Amino acid sequence: MKNSVAFFMVSIAVLLTLLGCAGYYKITDPASNKVYYTQDINRKMNGAIRFKDEVSKTQVTLQQSEVIEITQDQFEAAAAAK
């Protein structure tokens, strides 16, 4: 019984952590000053990031980047303006 409760609590903690990772991001490539918008970032072991740009609908990989979390309203306004 104790193991079941512990497993349940750990499962809830993991789920909440995963839900907390969802967000909206503005990513700037410092080399070109190009700006991207995404909802999901995959961080690589070498420090690079990979994501799908919501404006161009392409997969992008950047070795260096500036990532800023933005609000849903800012994300939607930026995506609509492009």
| The model's pTM | 0.70
Within-domain flag for 36: yes
Q: What is the pLDDT of residue 81?
A: 79
**Domains identified in the chain, total number:** 1
Sign of CA dihedral 71, 38, 34, 31: positive
Within-domain flag for 15: no
Within-domain flag for 16: no
Q: pLDDT tens for the chain, 82 residues: list them.
A: 556 555 544 444 444 444 445 699 999 999 999 999 999 999 998 999 999 999 999 999 999 999 999 999 999 998 887 6
Within-domain flag for 44: yes
Q: Is 82 helix (H, G, I), strand (E, B) or coil?
A: coil
Within-domain flag for 47: yes
Within-domain flag for 13: no
Within-domain flag for 27: yes
Expressed as residue numbers, the domain containing 27 is 22-81
DSSP 30-76: TTT--EEEES-EEE-TTS-EEEE-TTT--EEEESS-EEEEE-HHHHH
Within-domain flag for 8: no
Burial class (CB within 10 angstroms; exposed 0-12, middle 13-18, buried 19+) of 8:
exposed
